[in-house]
Amino acid sequence: MNDFIREIEKAKDIVILGHTRPDGDCVGSCLGVYNYVLDNYPDKQVDIYLDAFKPEFLFLNGADKILHEQKQKVYDLCISMDSGDLDRHGDFVVYFDSAKRTMCIDHHISNQGFGDVCFLKPECSAAAEAVFTLLDEDKISQHCAECLYLGIVHDTGVFKYTNTTRQTMEIAGKLIEKGARSQLVIDGTFYQKTFKQNKMLAKALDAAFLMFDGKVIVSCLTKDVFDDNDATNLDTDGVVDALRITEGVECALWMYEYPKKGVFKCSLRSNEIVNVSMIAGSLGGGGHVRAAGCEVEGDKDTIILKVTDMIKAQLDNA
């Protein structure tokens, strides 16, 4: 029995927190733990608090039970999932602060460690992969497996990012054996796009430009574009990866001004050279070597210049 199982068995009321703007790995890993606990310990009370996420994830078992508004409650155990630091939980961090016991499960290299019990696994491609290593394989249900599989699919870009390892593929295979529906997860949640998502992708590509002899690509959409198209950040899912795969590009910078005017969300992706985690970290964000992000307040052009200067410095020293 490991420390994860011991903490679960000691607690009666458990809460799971993911990061703001939850992606597939965040939702999948949170729901993976949620299903595992309720499948094997039906006497436990488990809540998940997350911001709004893609409706494509709603087919996952328990997704309809995720809470988006705070309620007054103190939990025996709070599990921080897929979050490099406590600030990533937004307003829901109050549950971590008030819980009797706390746990962190994460795979971000920027995570310095927090909580009474901390499982940091930067060697894992996804938080969902990290979760799998903590569970009793024989007790993983089809519902749990499908959630974890979705998390791994999204953080590996369907197993094509450089964070994909032999362990990643072996775990994915085991999850499929447990009943995870691979085609449904991949086609239905990763490749399939709504018409509005395609429109916003077109606008982002139209706004894109190359720098430094084509090694860097940048695109930015302002809040006016979102307002004019009745769009949200959920409608720009996949933009940064579409930029990254441009021929000759080493690093992509995708920025959007939403929901607050004057505050830009920055997503960075690289292929082989640039450590984007260092760049995002210097701006108050974090992530992985090849995929990271941050939030910056200020003028669009000033932010672009600041970030691309840091990218160029790494390219020049390569």
- 21 pLDDT higher than 90: yes
Indicate whether 18 and 137 sit together in one domain.
yes
* Pairwise CA distance, residues 318 & 314, whole Å: 6
Least confident of 22-26, 132-136, 202-206, 288-292: 288-292
Split at pLDDT 50, 70, 90, the class of 47 is very high
For 192-203, what is the mean pLDDT? Answer: 96
Q: Which two tokens stand for residue 27?
A: 């939702």
pLDDT score recorded for residue 161 = 92
Tell me the pTM: 0.92
Count of beta carbons in the 10 Å neighbourhood of residue 194? 14
Indicate whether 158 and 232 sit together in one domain.
no
In tens, the pLDDT along 100-120 reads: 999 999 999 989 999 999 999
Indicate whether 70 and 169 sit together in one domain.
yes
pLDDT score recorded for residue 1 = 80
* Pairwise CA distance, residues 185 & 175, whole Å: 12
Split at pLDDT 50, 70, 90, the class of 273 is very high
For 51-68, what is the mean pLDDT? Answer: 97
- 269 pLDDT higher than 90: yes
For 74-94, what is the mean pLDDT? Answer: 98
For the chain, the average pLDDT equals 97
Indicate whether 173 and 304 sit together in one domain.
no
Q: Render the chain in DSSP notation, one character per residue.
A: --HHHHHHHH-SEEEEE--SS--HHHHHHHHHHHHHHHHH-TT-EEEEE-----GGGGGSTTGGG-B-S--S---SEEEEES-SSGGGGGGGHHHHHH-SEEEEEE--TT----SSEEEE-TTSSSHHHHHHTTS-GGG--HHHHHHHHHHHHHHTTTTTSTT--HHHHHHHHHHHHTT--HHHHHIIIII---HHHHHHHHHHHHT-EEETTTTEEEEEE-HHHHHHTT--GGGGTTHHHHHHTSTT-SEEEEEE--SSTTEEEEEEEESSS--HHHHHHHTT-EE-SSEEEEEEES-HHHHHHHHHHHHHHHHHH-
Question: Could you tell me the residue range of the domain that residue 265 belongs to?
Answer: 195-316
Domain end residue (candidates: 134, 166, 191) = 191
In tens, the pLDDT along 29-44 reads: 999 999 999 999 999 9
Q: Which two tokens stand for residue 249?
A: 């590009």
Indicate whether 122 and 142 sit together in one domain.
yes
The answer to whether residues 79 and 14 touch, using CB atoms and an 8 Å cutoff, is yes
Domain end residue (candidates: 191, 224, 241) = 191
* Pairwise CA distance, residues 176 & 178, whole Å: 5
For 69-79, what is the mean pLDDT? Answer: 98
For the chain, percent of residues with pLDDT exceeding 90: 98
Split at pLDDT 50, 70, 90, the class of 97 is very high
In tens, the pLDDT along 154-191 reads: 999 999 999 999 999 999 999 999 999 999 999 999 99
Indicate whether 224 and 143 sit together in one domain.
no
Into how many domains does the chain fold? Answer: 2
Chain CA centroid to CA 309, Å: 26
Indicate whether 15 and 148 sit together in one domain.
yes
Q: Which two tokens stand for residue 221?
A: 């959409």
Indicate whether 271 and 162 sit together in one domain.
no
Split at pLDDT 50, 70, 90, the class of 291 is very high
Split at pLDDT 50, 70, 90, the class of 86 is very high
For the chain, percent of residues with pLDDT exceeding 70: 100
Indicate whether 157 and 80 sit together in one domain.
yes
Indicate whether 24 and 133 sit together in one domain.
yes
Indicate whether 185 and 251 sit together in one domain.
no
Identify the CATH number of the domain in which residue 299 sits.
3.10.310.30
Domain end residue (candidates: 132, 161, 191) = 191
Indicate whether 8 and 148 sit together in one domain.
yes
Tell me the residue length of the chain.
318
pLDDT score recorded for residue 169 = 99
Identify the CATH number of the domain in which residue 60 sits.
3.90.1640.10
* Pairwise CA distance, residues 114 & 70, whole Å: 23
